[in-house]
Amino acid sequence: MLVRFAGLGLGAATLTTVAAASGNSNVDVLTSSPDVSSFMAEPVTPLSTLVKDKDDMKVKMEMLIMKIQADFCRALENEEDPSKKFIVDRWTRAEGGGGVTCVIQNGKTFEKAGVNVSVVHGILPVDAVRQMKARGKELIGKELPFFAAGISSVIHPSNPHVPTVHFNYRYFEVTQENGEKMWWFGGGTDLTPYYLVEEDVRHFHSTLKNACDQHDAGYYPKFKKWCDEYFLVSHRNECRGVGGIFFDDFEMHSQEDCFKFVKSCAESVIPSYVPLVKKHRNDPYTSAERDWQLLRRGRYVEFNLVYDRGTKFGLYTPGARIESILMSLPVYAKWEYMHSPSDGTPEAKLTEILKNPKEWI
């Protein structure tokens, strides 16, 4: 469930994303006196609870995603016009919890960049329970207490030669009618270029593979395949982009081992993506290339509104925050009737890869 907790705010591109981008990842996420001063905003959970329950996975996940949000936002701001900073919107949800939504819009480098954190709790509605059961979750009961914490982000650059990136990492708990607590993690990072630069795609995938390999050499090929399958725009018979990694219902080890894996993946976002922004943000481009970018964004919108599980989850949830659910959508997109790129063009080269995913490393 791409709990882009989107509407919950868990996504940022939905659930619907503390130091500089070069911060030391070996520093503990939370100490007895957590320093939250470098976060984009105050955490959702009261500081007293963060200290008291510092070893609880709910707290550890919240502190991690708040740090990842701050790191990523500052890394993006470093690539933007100095006068353009993230708008920070800290919000609360009447049914329980809240989030922090950070957005840049109409910047020089980023036409729209959203990084959303959601930390929400309440009663899981019947439709959401039904959706989970359809995925194989053996849940006992109809309306169940839940907790969800996640970060989700979608970056739509101005320059067609800079790819779009999406990432989402989340933690979920459900308490069943018999008192049994179920938990799992999910997430992933994927790349959607408008023009195919194979060197860039190999860099992206290699960085994600390195993060996976720290924990299990079998994770990258498994989660790369899952990503290609998940981000298929079925009615177009093509993938949304060139993939990355995707996983859900991740609970095969201890909570701590799962958390460490998610942490490694989340920390790989900046080194996998920001070098591509630096490389291409000042590339020249034509009006025809801009039109192609807008057409491809249309396909991005189609996937998010028709297939994305996080979007659906958010819309099923009481108190859904629509602005956070739809933060993943670009400012501009276009559709043309029966459009097809000419043979032998860079646009046709990309389309062929999207219809036939390949191994990049």
277 backbone dihedrals φ, ψ, rounded to 5°: -65, -50
52 backbone dihedrals φ, ψ, rounded to 5°: -65, -40
Q: Which of 156, 166, 203, 205 is catalytic?
A: 166
Both tokens assigned to 56 = 């609880």
Please name the helix (run of DSSP H) or strand (run of DSSP E) that holds residue 210, with its range, or none.
helix 198-213
Please name the helix (run of DSSP H) or strand (run of DSSP E) that holds residue 299, with its range, or none.
helix 287-306
Contacts of 55 (CB under 8 A, 6+ apart): none
Instruction: Detail the DSSP E strand segments found in 158-270.
Output: 164-175, 181-192, 232-233, 238-239, 243-250
> For this structure, is 166 an active site residue?
yes
Q: Is 122 helix (H, G, I), strand (E, B) or coil?
A: strand
Distance CA 318, CA 23 (A): 37
Nearest C-alpha neighbor of 288 from the set 162, 194, 355: 194
Nearest C-alpha neighbor of 117 from the set 162, 180, 74, 72: 72
DSSP tag of 8: T
- Tokens 């009006």 sit on residue: 287
- From the CB of residue 271, how many other CB atoms can be counted at a distance below 10 Å? 16
Contacts of 52 (CB under 8 A, 6+ apart): none
103 forms bridges with which residues in the sheet?
87, 114
Both tokens assigned to 104 = 């840049």
Distance CA 31, CA 145 (A): 28
Contact 34, 63 (CB under 8 A): yes
Task: Tell me the catalytic residues.
Answer: 166
